[in-house]
Amino acid sequence: MFDKLDDILIHYEELMRMLGDPDVTQDTKRFTKLMKEQADLAPIVEAYKQYKQAKQDVEDSLAMLEEESDEEMREMAKEELADAKKRIEDLEHELKILLLPKDPNDDKNIILEIRAGAGGDEAALFAAELYRMYTNYADSHRWKVEIISLNENGIGGFKEVVAMVTGKGAYSKLKYESGVHRVQRVPETESGGRIHTSTATVAVMPEAEEVDVQIDMNDCRIDVMRASGNGGQCVNTTDSAVRLTHMPTGIVIYSQTEKSQLQNKEKAFRLLRSKLYDIELEKRQSSEAEERRSQIGTGDRSEKIRTYNFPQGRVTDHRIKLTLYKIDSIMNGDIQELLDNLIAADQAAKLSKLNEQV
């Protein structure tokens, strides 16, 4: 590990030298690429420098203990030695995590797809609440959320909503949310006060760029029609809605949220690219089934991953056996504690697998 870290340190210093070169700064494409590489390596380099300093502090403290006879100074040296050893232990763990292979999709924007599952209108209401939860979380990170398609049930619920979430690291944070989310509560329509169980399915897909997926236009059929919805300017007045059908896969995308047909068409193709990219990722991951089983959560969409129990005020993530008693704040978008624990569990699983291979 330390040979690799030394190589990274040398490469980082070379990157810094190149970034100061006037010839490089004038080449925008190269400069941007080097800046991204430098930003990716900076946390590793900083942690490694701290590690080396802690090692030096251990040596200095040991030398002081050998030379010093004053008891007060020796006690101080012992405290500094213990602190430095603890820092070394913590930094070794941090460096192992930083050196784990990075998911190439982590920095991508995402397509968020939420569908009502079992439970009729109550499931649709829950799907709408999940959408608001993720929207509030995105707002807290200053990410942009843009609806691509929406199918409402007339009482404030969503049968299906598809949205683009644009923001640095969106996929790295939300990729663990794919799966079946279950709600247990007494619906407002329930006169007998019985607790109902409903579900909604969440899919989080990295946004695919044109370089990631090539679409053959001969494989696509595009139909245009008048948008349908709850009113508003331009709705039902022009043929602006687009239905895009990808014949080889049978994927059908309906986009009607924009006023212009061109914008709706562009959104539909963005979603199609991401769906095709996601299918390719699924194939790749299923061929690495063993590795996938050892990791937390970008897995099977049919897996029940979380329960939101309103009567008891608790949210339980079944993958990591974590229960939090703050359902109101979670439904308002305060999901960072859940995500942090999922990320930590995923890293621990990957580290364990790495240690087995050594």
Tell me, yes or no, whether 254 lies in a domain: yes
DSSP letter for each residue of 225-270? E---SS--TTTTTSS-EEEEEETTTTEEEEE-SSSSHHHHHHHHHH
Q: In CATH, what number is assigned to the domain containing residue 226?
A: 3.30.160.20
Can you give the pLDDT at residue 229?
56
Tens-place pLDDT, residues 141-169: 999 999 988 888 888 899 999 999 999 88
Half-sphere exposure of 7 (CA within 13 A, CB side): 5
Can you give the pLDDT at residue 294?
43
Can you give the pLDDT at residue 133?
97
Tokens of 347: 């890293």
Domain that holds residue 262: 215-285
123-139: average pLDDT = 95
Same domain membership, residue 198 and residue 340: yes
Of 181, 231, 225, 177, the C-alpha closest to 205 is 177
Q: How confident is the model at residue 295 (pLDDT cuts 50, 70, 90)?
A: very low
Do the Cβ atoms of 95 and 9 come closer than 8 Å?
no
Same domain membership, residue 128 and residue 91: no
Residue 199 has pLDDT above 80, yes or no: yes
202-217: average pLDDT = 83
Identify the domain boundary among 67, 97, 127.
97
119-146: average pLDDT = 94
Can you give the pLDDT at residue 288?
52
Can you give the pLDDT at residue 285?
66
Rounded Cα gap, residues 9 and 45, in angstroms: 6
Nearby residues of 255 by Cβ (< 8 Å), 6 or more positions away: 148, 149, 241, 242, 243, 244, 264, 265, 267, 268, 271
Identify the domain boundary among 70, 97, 124.
97
Q: In CATH, what number is assigned to the domain containing residue 350?
A: 3.30.70.1660
How many other CB atoms are found less than 10 A from the CB of residue 125? 24
Q: Which backbone phi and psi does 89 adopt, to 5 degrees?
A: -60, -45
Same domain membership, residue 19 and residue 4: yes
Q: Which of 52-66, 180-194, 272-286 has the highest mean pLDDT?
A: 52-66
345-349: average pLDDT = 88
Tell me, yes or no, whether 268 lies in a domain: yes
Could you tell me what percent of the chain has a pLDDT over 70? Answer: 89
Q: How many domains does the chain have?
A: 3
Tokens of 79: 């405290």
Do the Cβ atoms of 174 and 165 come closer than 8 Å?
yes
Residue 313 has pLDDT above 90, yes or no: yes
Do the Cβ atoms of 130 and 89 come closer than 8 Å?
no
pLDDT higher for 313 or 73? 313
Same domain membership, residue 236 and residue 317: no
Tell me, yes or no, whether 221 lies in a domain: yes
Tens-place pLDDT, residues 15-52: 888 888 888 888 888 888 888 888 888 988 999 899 89
Distances, alpha carbon 108 to alpha carbons 104, 135, 136, in Å: 8, 17, 19
Strands 144-152 and 179-185: unpaired
